[in-house]
Structure 1
Amino acid sequence: MGYTNGSLYVSLVMLCSTFVSAGKAIEGKDSVKAKVSALFTFGDSIVDPGNNNFIPTLARANTPPYGQDFIDGKATGRFCNGKLSTDFISAELGLKDTVPPFLDPKLSTQDLLTGVSFASAGTGFDNLTAEVVSVIPVLKQVEYFKEYKARLTDLVGEENSSYIIREAIFLSIAGSNDFLENYYSLPNRRAHFSVEQYEDFLLNIYVTFIEDLYRLGGRKFGMYGLPPMGCVPLERSLYGQLSSGCVEIYNQAALSYNAQLMSTVSKLKTRLPGIKVVYVDIYYSSLDIIENPSKYGFETSSRGCCGTGLVETGIITCNLKTPVTCSDSDKFVFWDSVHPTQRAYQITAHQVFVKYISKLL
């Protein structure tokens, strides 16, 4: 598809304004001038702003009470009462207040220029994980990025498209569903892999994912490790450990995986010329909030805000018919039985930005 000189001019003006915006001073220990053109996110429900709304799956969050604290109280598909961590990171980068889903047919030109999310709730690196709830595997998200790149190139030309992608930040978080929905819940992978072997299997896919994006022009990557997945209310409920603490077998798997991921990140730095890549640890910061909620102004971390907060997640169990959804989600670390509240995301997002994202600027 071609474009007129007039439309090209408008696009390039918007492009220039994007780079000016991304160059705003960011508050921190020192003011840093960020040279970031866009933010792209990949992974699961932690960073999915609503892509699952546009595919045939029940793994959705596009009805109330989800989104009750979002702009205009809209349920966008985010598994949260409001914004996700990557929305806050985008704002700290000076790009925009929210990162939209790539599959939204109403995406604006400005959205395409400044970044979108390809994430899909319920997914993992393992294709089998995505099949459990019929969502988009992580490697398929790369295919959607190829479509994005073609649309961007058609809009602003190859040179500007390459610049936007080269100066963008790519954030990816997945893996929890691979363990919780797949490895520990279904027999197939456990019959063929030990926990350590399955970690290697997932990390090999993660490396392929990064290498594919690198070949497509990406150079700045934040590779998230796993959170303390044994501490989410759902898993504690299923294991009968609401009062006794987290499910340690899950947390130990997360720590083992994270240790291998750190080593993987170091190897990528030496193998891929010009790459900027950081390992993003969210395990210990999340664990501190969960173990010490009052330190951060929360009242509880053992249950979520929606319903009982022990088993509800997604539109099937967390909906307008769900009784006793809390009136003040800011008191809760978790929104439903799996996903953090907007306030918890805001806290962890700033921590991630200061400690890790700043290294990519």
Structure 2
Amino acid sequence: MAMMKAWSFGLVLLLLSFYYPVNGADNKNSSLGASFIFGDSLVDAGNNNYLPTLSRANIPPNGIDFRASGGNPTGRDTNGRTIGDIVGEELGVPNYAVPYLAPNSTGKAILYGVNYASGGGGIMNATGRIFVNRLGLDIQIDFFNNTRKQFDTLLGSSKAKDYISKRSIFSVTIGANDFLNNYLLPVLSVGARISQSPDGFIDDMITHLRNQLTRLYQLDARKFVVGNVGPIGCIPYQKTINQLNENECVDLANKLAIQYNGRLKDLLTELNGKLPGAIFVHANVYDLVMDLIVNYKKYGIISGGSNRFSASVTFFDYSLKPIFFHVGFTTASKACCGNGGQFAGIIPCGPTSSMCDDREKHVFWDPYHPSEAANLIIAQQLLNGNTKVISPVNLKQLRNL
């Protein structure tokens, strides 16, 4: 896996490659049409703000480093940008994909893309019921069907089909909640686990996802990137409630993720051979995040606009604003924002939570979600990585097909 492993000039150049603005040389002649984002809280940009739900992130200090909002919360479950935001920027989309449920998701705003993701959502319709309301993937695709009709109105049917099928990317980041907030949910899922084996549950997930992706294809989606489930047994919440040590992870949760991920890869290979004109890209998020968790001290990030930490090297971006380079996260176990237990992993991030001072040095922002610093590293690999990370092509190659 092409990973950042040492303090070196090559590493500096690699990291600089994803800091600079999206109007650089790489994007001068090629840009994405629209970014359509489906998934859960890892990529939710604010849809849950408009739902009566227990899964919300529209309270401070969430979004504290999100420059587009001036540091105000937007509904993103992180301190800054999600992976979807970063990828869209790097692929040349001038604006973030607007949340479908937001009042401004109309007219020409949707030409840059729409975000349908919802915190608590999953592949299975029962997933996330503990949050009262959330948008599962079936509902998200229902909403895209509405957007698809709007594109016909805006562009005409022929241009709309071309724009969606040839110039747009459909990203799907989902599946973790189907385990964490469905099959593995304490108390509420005991009956399900007795009546259905892990194999049976994963079979159902794959069957549902096959139908969901095929439905998007029938609505003219052609360029897909589908992420597998990360190492959910290693998040601060799981470590805290299971009273694990810093270097331990919940074995069952990770085994289920690995089992599902193998089936997902087979599914995407199947769909690549079955649906003419489509390309399904497999994003190996599990290995990316696991390597980041295990080797966190060897990873570095560039951070701009802040003097919070001591910098070993100072560079300048094109607008001459100082940016700082540091090496090494300090923890991949403890949440930066949260409360409860050794890893601050029980109570979600909110106004009464304790918050770290060195947000750029924490892999996890809260008990469940990566920090913007971690999202930057993951996104860079998805954009430029080799086939061990993302296959059969990376996201910059997918954009240009």
| TM bin (shorter chain) | 0.7 to 0.9
AA paired with 1:242? N
* CA distance in structure 2 between the aligned counterparts of 1:178 and 1:159, rounded to whole angstroms: 37
| Contact 2:128 2:181 survives alignment (8 Å) | no
Higher share in helix? 1
1:177 corresponds to: 177
Report the alpha carbon displacement of residue 311 of structure 1 after superposing the two structures with TM: 2.4
Q: Secondary structure at the match of 1:107?
A: coil
AA paired with 2:63? G
Q: Deviations over 1:65-89 (max 9, x none)?
A: 1011112011000000010001110
**Cα gap change, 1:188 to 1:137, in 2 (>3 Å):** farther
* CA distance in structure 2 between the aligned counterparts of 1:36 and 1:343, rounded to whole angstroms: 24
1:278 corresponds to: 281
Report the alpha carbon displacement of residue 216 of structure 1 after superposing the two structures with TM: 0.3
Matched length: 332
- 1:217 aligned to 2:216? no
* CA distance in structure 1 between the aligned counterparts of 2:275 and 2:31, rounded to whole angstroms: 21
| Contact 1:85 1:348 survives alignment (8 Å) | yes
| Contact 1:44 1:122 survives alignment (8 Å) | yes
| Contact 1:277 1:360 survives alignment (8 Å) | no
| Contact 2:31 2:93 survives alignment (8 Å) | no
TM-score, length-scaled by structure 1: 0.87
- 1:269 aligned to 2:272? yes
2:58 corresponds to: 62
Of 240-249 and 201-210, the range deviating more from structure 2: 240-249
Report the alpha carbon displacement of residue 109 of structure 1 after superposing the two structures with TM: 3.8
| Contact 2:338 2:367 survives alignment (8 Å) | no
1:238 corresponds to: 241
AA paired with 2:335? G
* CA distance in structure 2 between the aligned counterparts of 1:129 and 1:123, rounded to whole angstroms: 6
* CA distance in structure 1 between the aligned counterparts of 2:178 and 2:192, rounded to whole angstroms: 10
Q: Deviations over 1:17-39 (max 9, x none)?
A: xxxxx998537xxx9x6463111
| Contact 2:91 2:396 survives alignment (8 Å) | no
1:5 corresponds to: none
2:395 corresponds to: 357
| Contact 2:123 2:178 survives alignment (8 Å) | yes
1:153-168 aligned within 5 A:
153-167=152-166, 168=168
* CA distance in structure 2 between the aligned counterparts of 1:153 and 1:244, rounded to whole angstroms: 52
> Which of 178, 188, 206 is matched with 1:203 structurally?
206
1:112 corresponds to: 110
**Cα gap change, 1:312 to 1:153, in 2 (>3 Å):** farther
1:321 corresponds to: 352
* CA distance in structure 2 between the aligned counterparts of 1:300 and 1:278, rounded to whole angstroms: 31
**Cα gap change, 1:330 to 1:244, in 2 (>3 Å):** closer
- Give unpaired runs (5+ residues) of structure 2: 1-21, 300-327, 386-393
* CA distance in structure 1 between the aligned counterparts of 2:230 and 2:61, rounded to whole angstroms: 25
* CA distance in structure 1 between the aligned counterparts of 2:191 and 2:140, rounded to whole angstroms: 24
1:137 corresponds to: 136
Q: Secondary structure at the match of 2:224?
A: strand
Q: Secondary structure at the match of 1:221?
A: strand
Q: Deviations over 1:106-164 (max 9, x none)?
A: 23644300111101001111111132212111111000001111222222221221122
TM-score, length-scaled by structure 2: 0.79
Report the alpha carbon displacement of residue 187 of structure 1 after superposing the two structures with TM: 2.2
> Which of 324, 328, 345 is matched with 1:311 structurally?
345
AA paired with 1:181? N
Report the alpha carbon displacement of residue 55 of structure 1 after superposing the two structures with TM: 1.2
| Contact 2:108 2:154 survives alignment (8 Å) | no
**Cα gap change, 1:147 to 1:78, in 2 (>3 Å):** same
Compute the RMSD of aligned alpha carbons: 1.9
Report the alpha carbon displacement of residue 256 of structure 1 after superposing the two structures with TM: 1.1
* CA distance in structure 2 between the aligned counterparts of 1:25 and 1:210, rounded to whole angstroms: 33
| Contact 1:87 1:97 survives alignment (8 Å) | no
Report the alpha carbon displacement of residue 258 of structure 1 after superposing the two structures with TM: 0.8
Report the alpha carbon displacement of residue 293 of structure 1 after superposing the two structures with TM: 1.2
Report the alpha carbon displacement of residue 358 of structure 1 after superposing the two structures with TM: 3.1
Identity among equivalent positions (%) equals 34
* CA distance in structure 1 between the aligned counterparts of 2:114 and 2:160, rounded to whole angstroms: 14
| Contact 1:68 1:81 survives alignment (8 Å) | yes
| Contact 1:24 1:34 survives alignment (8 Å) | no
2:194 corresponds to: 191
* CA distance in structure 2 between the aligned counterparts of 1:73 and 1:23, rounded to whole angstroms: 24
Q: Secondary structure at the match of 2:338?
A: coil
